[in-house]
Structure 1
Amino acid sequence: MTRGAGELAKLLRYRPKFAAASFSSTTPSGSSISPTHRPWFPKLKVVAAVGVGLGMGALGLSALGTEPRRSLYLLYSMSLRLGRDFVTAALIVADYNYSLYGLPEKSLERAQSKHEVHIRSANRLKELCFKNGGIYIKLGQHMGQLEYLLPSEYVQTMKDCMLDKCPVSTFEQVCELFKAELGRLPHEVFKDFDPIPLASASLAQVHVASTFEGEKVAVKVQHAHLTDTAAMDIVTVKLVVTAVHFLFPNYDYRWLIAEVQDSLPKELDFLLEAKNSEHCMNNFRTLSPHLVRWIYVPKVYRDLSTRKLLTMEFIEGVKVTDVKAIQKLGIKPNTISKIMNEAFADMIFRHGFVHCDPHAANMMVRLAPTNEHGFLGNKKTPQLVLLDHGLYKELNPTLRNDYAALWKALVFADVNEIKKQSVKLGAGEDLYILFAGVLTMRPWKKIIQQDINHLKIDGTEEDKEEIQMYASQLVSEISLLLQRLPREILLLLKTNDCLRAVDYCLGSSINSFVIIARESSRTLAEMRTSRDRRSIRSKLSARLDMLKVEVRLLILQLLEWITCLHGIDDKAAMQGDLEAGVGTKTQNGSVDVASASVCDSNSDPHLCDSGTGLSNLPA
């Protein structure tokens, strides 16, 4: 009996009636997935068996005729991975049901038990990701960015180990790859080569080396067998999401298959990554010269790089989320937050070429090697170093314009414009409220408040719990929204998640919103004037819009500065004057906004007027 099967048997052994009568599917947040259809466990066995059979058959048909030994290895690995998936899922569901069975809602005992199950389940998922590798680790990395959607136990577990502490390939495997790619061993290519990797991520690990010219370099080495397992990963994901949708129709993530099929091969091509990195830096030089001194991309050694090996300039720096190390460099964390958000806002709205994997391990902070000459003498310039350029997305001008218009509408709490632009981006007239909530990670009531404070991202535990609550209650709506949205927008949502997670670590509450508001407004103004260059009225209107945004943002930053200076609670400090003309304070502390009931006949009632909708959450 495997370890997983043994754990499952242990969970079920002491409560025989549980599996037959009390087995209900539960999400990590503790909410029921399908209260009307609980006896699904036998169906899960059938689907798992059929899934394994289909996967093995499909893979066998595609590969058996060429290399039988390779085909057998892939078939074995495929069935093993799917088996791990099934056992892990069964263990997690069984653990939640067994551990929380009979415990009263909101009791201390249930809360403590749920916390312990969260930790056990997160560790099981971590172990599954490490054993299966590849795309599983990529998914685990993204879980570590979802501060607002997942319980903290899951986020912290994934964040601690998924970014740069993944399983490593052996030095023998590294040597085999060098021999296959360059025809030479590492010590023949480099003067020095450290056999112990500096860091290891989902697709590759990094070794420190030095060239025969004495230059220190970082060598990114693709993990062994990834090319083979990539195709298997795609088939596995297809089977898993199809099975999940069959068991739980509310969970339809089949759109993920096309995204994985498109992005994974690109991330495995290190020559494409080299091209992306050079394109990125060139965009900052030509399109964003005002930012170029604060952004750096390591240069690539093309003659020492292949599709599976990438040799880059070695950069001395600190992790972007290491606040203490950043402060030791004499840099304010808020400065780094501002640089990061300005850089990615420019990528989205100016360049149309966006780094879509900006998690904490893919960004570093350093002091620029050259001094900046100022009025008070020389000073070092802080730089944000961008790493891992495997996943980029190009945005066409129309999409950038619509996305910018949506953000401008969010800044001004313009309900009609939010709806209009959300529909243009694919959300539909029934899910535009949910789209605005997913994009900003804020309840609808806060989004449409007319005061300045609605732009501020508090990041409190109360906010997180609120968002987790409605996320668990709107599973089918979120799934439908993600199916509708263009893949470019899906990757922008992922980018937002990553940046929001870094911002949270840096302690910034307004930078992300302020900067994207400014850049989106500037984009719209530039597009308007470019369409009608001779119209003075058009130019004046564009400048007036920009002035309105700047005034609004200036007031917000001033209020933030005053609040920090005096150490006053934000809500207490700003509640009085800012609520004037917007709404009235109710007894429970929420704000009754006059325009809160903005839903029309096309809107989903769950998003508007029900007790579980976004607009009814406390403000």
Structure 2
Amino acid sequence: MLGGRLHSVMKYSLAAGLIGGTALSLRGNQYQLDSIGIVRLSRAASTVFQIGIIYKIDLYGQHLDKKSIEYTELKSVCHKRAAEKLLKLCCTNKGVYIKVGQHIAALEYLLPSEYVETMKVLHCHAPTNEIEEVYKVIKEDLKKDPFEIFESIETEPLGTASLAQVHKAKLKDGSTVAIKVQHPYVQGNSRVDMKTMEYLVKMMSWVFPEFKFQWLVDESKKNIPRELDFAQEGHNAEKIASLFGDVEWLKVPKVRWDLTTPRVLTMDFVEGGQVNDLDYIREHNINPKEVSDKLGKLYSRMIFIHGFVHSDPHPGNILVNKSDNGYCNIVLLDHGLYADLKDEFRVEYANLWLSILNRDRRAMRQHSKNLGIDGDAYGLFACMVTGRTWDSITRGIDKYIRDIDGTFGFKKEVFALLKEKTCHTEEWQKHGCLLVDECKIYPT
């Protein structure tokens, strides 16, 4: 039965991409082989077929007791093999596939660890383009030869992501900048790739009913067009810099608007090491606890005060360096995707955090339900939100989030939001008392 379904997946996937996929992709990419819709779709469909065979023959075909150690070990091996095939597909098709692979790498509580660990390489080792392709995009968008604008451009990228790569460069006036240049194939391929992935996810859901990832496709379809507009990214950077204008330790590189287009973003270059680079942190005598505290304060304020949240906070997008006064700075990069949180969501999310901090399971369940998480899944949701085990949550998570000066800065942000949104109500009185008891923080 499963084999028949897999055969159908392959056959109908190829047929579906023949007309629409080829036409869309050829028009945007001058007939490059890897940009032909049917080639990309066939590659994806073939990978799905191979992954299905791994599970059908090598796992389910062994007819092992699902509670046995042998089955568990074999399942892990199959997960690893399937994940490696998926990684190869992402690296070959690039673009949107890399982006989705990065999302998979972040789903630690939803996917087998073999998939998560395999895909993590995409956060810092995405495929790069030749420098000539970078020059071509710059010339097309800025309407000048790159070396009429730049004194020099380093050929080795500082980093490569799913949709672009970044190069360090020096302007004619001697100032140093970072140029983010979109991969030339992304725009032309993005529409057909999203259609392909949507189709393949539906096919996988048919073959494996427990495979429910249409939401990931829906989010990608909504967000990728935003991330492909680098001018919008520049506006996001300026907005977050303005919102945190009073925070000296947050650094957002300045946008060079005269050298910015939807495919090219030029910003001042800022030195720093990745936030998870412990060797860099030790070499520069930066206090890791201070880094952790400032990140907590940064995101707490984004969520609970401004409702404008940087939505791609992997280590490559957050740098640290040491300021002249001896404290650490946080450098925030890649402003392509922000979430605008509604007041109703923020208040409910704040209430959820209070229930977690107070170890109130009934309230956790209720506020999780209000956020769309029904039933006993509230415990898993609490673990995902906090990044902690259920055991640490039930023992008391507040011991883990105390600030470097001994106060509870995170709770202050929650307190401020609830005070603003529920002031002079019975609900505010209740939560105010909870916070006073828990944190010894008093209304101002």
Could you state the TM-score of these two structures normalised by the residue count of structure 1?
0.63
Give the superposition deviation at 1:184: 1.3
Other structure's SS at 1:427 match: coil
Give 2:271's aligned amino acid.
Answer: E
1:179 aligns with 2:139: yes
- Structure 1 gap segments, 5+ residues each: 1-38, 373-379, 458-508, 553-619
In structure 2, do the counterparts of structure 1 residues 433 and 69 end up closer, same or farther at CA, with 3 Å as the change threshold? Answer: closer
Distance 1:390 1:312 in 2: 13
Q: Return closer, same or farther for 1:95/1:511 CA change in 2, 3 Å cut-off.
A: farther
**Which of 538, 546, 561 does residue 435 from structure 2 map onto?**
546
State the one-letter code of the partner of 1:273.
E
**Counterparts in 2 of 1:168 and 1:423: CA distance versus 1, 3 Å:** same
Deviates more, 1:320-329 or 1:300-309: 320-329
Conserved 8 A contact 2:13-2:42: no
Instruction: Determine the structure 2 residue equivalent to 1:412.
Output: 358
**Counterpart of 2:169 in 1: which secondary structure?**
strand
Deviation at 1:314, TM superposition (A): 1.0
Query: Following the alignment from structure 1 to structure 2, what is the Cα–Cα distance between the partners of residues 75 and 441?
Result: 39
**1:38-57: CA deviations, max 9, x gaps?**
x3122122123223322333
Q: Does 2:276 align with 1:321? A: yes
* Shift in CA distance, 149/516, structure 1 to aligned 2, threshold 3 Å: farther
Change (3 A) 1:268 1:428: same
Paired residues of 2:35 and 2:189 also in contact (CA < 8 A): no
| Aligned with 1:305 (options 260, 276, 279) | 260
Residues 1:343 and 2:298 aligned together: yes
Q: What secondary structure does 2:419 align onto?
A: helix
Task: Give the distance between the partners of 1:68 and 1:361, measured in 2 at CA.
Answer: 33
* 1:429 CA drift (Å): 5.9
| Alignment partners' CA distance in 2, 1:97 and 1:294 | 53
Question: What displacement does 1:246 show?
Answer: 2.1
Counterpart amino acid of residue 180 in structure 2: K
Q: Is the 8 A contact 2:159 2:167 kept in 1?
A: yes
Identity, % of aligned positions: 34
- Quick one: structure 1 residues 142 and 228, their matched pair in 2 at CA, closer, same or farther if it must change by over 3 Å? same
1:56 to 9, 18, 23: 18
Counterparts of residues 62-461 of structure 1 (less than 5 Å) = 63=24, 77-96=36-55, 101=62, 116-159=77-120, 161-285=121-245, 289=246, 292-368=247-323, 371-372=324-325, 380-428=326-374, 432=378, 435-440=381-386, 449=394, 453-455=395-397
Residues 521, 545 of structure 1: 8 Å contact kept: no
DSSP 3-state at the match of 1:165: coil
Contact 1:366 1:382 in 2 (8 A): yes
Once the two structures are superposed, what CA deviation does each residue of 1:448-491 show, in whole Å capped at 9, x if it has no partner? x4xxx23279xxxxxxxxxxxxxxxxxxxxxxxxxxxxxxxxxx
The aligned residue for residue 522 of structure 1 is 416
SS in 1 for 2:43: helix
Distance 1:46 1:139 in 2: 24
Larger mean Cα displacement after TM superposition, 275-284 or 169-178: 169-178
- Structure-2 change in CA distance of 1:257 and 1:145 (3 Å): closer
In structure 2, relative to structure 1, the CA distance for the partners of 1:97 and 1:517 (3 Å cut) is: farther
Q: Quick one: structure 1 residues 426 and 273, their matched pair in 2 at CA, closer, same or farther if it must change by over 3 Å?
A: same
Q: Distance in 1 between matches of 2:354 and 2:144?
A: 55
8 Å CA contact 2:232, 2:336 repeated in 1:
yes
Aligned to 1:40: 2
Shift of 1:99: 5.1
Deviation at 1:550, TM superposition (A): 0.9
Task: Please give the per-residue CA displacement for 1:187-230, whole angstroms capped at 9, x wherever unaligned.
Answer: 11111112232221111111111111111111111101211011
Are the equivalent residues in 2 in contact too, given 1:146–1:155 (CA < 8 A)? yes
What is the deviation of 1:357?
0.5
State the secondary structure of the residue aligned to 1:365. Answer: strand
Say if 1:434 and 1:112 are closer, same or farther in 2 by CA, change over 3 A.
closer
Structure 1 residue 232: deviation in Å? 1.4
Deviation of 1:113 (Å) = 5.6
- Determine the C-alpha separation between the residues in 2 that align with 1:169 and 1:417: 50
Aligned CA distance change for structure 1 residues 186 and 511 (closer, same or farther; 3 Å): farther
* In 1: Cα distance, 2:30 partner to 2:264 partner: 25
Q: Is the Cα–Cα contact under 8 Å of residues 528 and 542 in structure 1 kept in the other structure?
A: no
CA 1:250–1:202 in 2, change beyond 3 Å: closer, same or farther? same
SS at match of 1:53: helix
Structure 2 CA distance for partners of 1:224 and 1:335, relative to 1, 3 Å = same
Q: What's the offset of the Cα at 1:68?
A: 5.8
1:242 maps to amino acid:
K
Q: Tell me which amino acid in the other structure corresponds to 1:330.
A: N
State the Cα deviation string for residues 291-332 of structure 1 (Å, max 9, x = none).
x12211111111111110111111111111111211221112
Q: Which amino acid aligns with 2:42?
A: G
Q: 1:405 touches 1:521 (CA, 8 Å); kept in 2?
A: no
- Structure 1 letter corresponding to 2:396: H
Distance verdict in 2 for CA 1:247–1:515, change over 3 Å: farther
1:520 Cα offset (Å) = 2.1
May I ask how many residue pairs the two structures share in their alignment?
435
Larger radius of gyration: 1
The alpha-carbon deviation at position 401 of structure 1 amounts to: 1.0
Q: How many angstroms apart in 2 are the aligned matches of 1:423 and 1:78?
A: 42
